[in-house]
Amino acid sequence: METLRALLIKSYEEGGLTPEEQHLLDGALADHEELRQEQTELEALHKMLANYTPAFKPGFAGRVLETVSQATASSDDNLYFLFKRFALTGVAAIIALLISVYFTDGNFSFDALLGLSDLSKDNLLLALSTF
């Protein structure tokens, strides 16, 4: 009987049964009331599950769109925050360099910025010829 039950369930799946299996099942269904009852219950189960239509609470789509919108705004805020941090760090580094140059050379000349203000032309030529 277990084999017949298995055939019954298999008969509802694609591919179905071989001709021999179908013949066996057909004969068994004709002979066994219990198997016909199982077939009825199986079909009722399939119908019950196919008609099962659960739903989210009303307004689900709106909640999804709101969540997506908030996540997008949050993501933009994060990028801006990161940019601000890097930008401010960079500006602080430049200001610190300028202050250092001013205290060292007393001015903001191009030579002072490049660290060449104390270097004479002879020393420069000597340094370059070493390389």
For the chain, the C-alpha Rg in angstroms (whole number) is 42
Q: Are 102 and 94 in contact (CB under 8 A)?
A: no
Of positions 19, 20, 30, 61, contacts other proteins by CB under 8 A = 61
Q: Rank residues 77 and 118 by Cβ distance to other proteins and give the closer one.
A: 77
Shortest gap between Cβ of 57 and other proteins (angstroms)?
6
79 binds other proteins (CB under 8 A): no
Task: Judge contact between 43 and 36, C-beta under 8 A.
Answer: no
Here's the x/- map for other proteins, 25-44, by CB under 8 A: it reads as: -------------x--xx-x
In whole angstroms, give the CA distance from residue 111 to residue 51.
84
Q: Does 46 bind other proteins (CB under 8 A)?
A: yes
Does 64 interact with other proteins (rule: CB under 8 A)?
yes
Question: What amino acid occupies position 49?
Answer: L
DSSP secondary structure string for all residues of 80-129: HHHHHHHHHHHHHHHHHHHHHHHHHHSS--HHHHHT-TT--HHHHHHHHH
User: What minimum distance in Å lies between the beta carbon of 52 and other proteins?
Assistant: 5
Q: Which residues bind other proteins (CB under 8 A)?
A: 5-6, 9-10, 13-15, 38, 41-42, 44-46, 48-50, 52-57, 60-61, 63-65, 67-68, 71
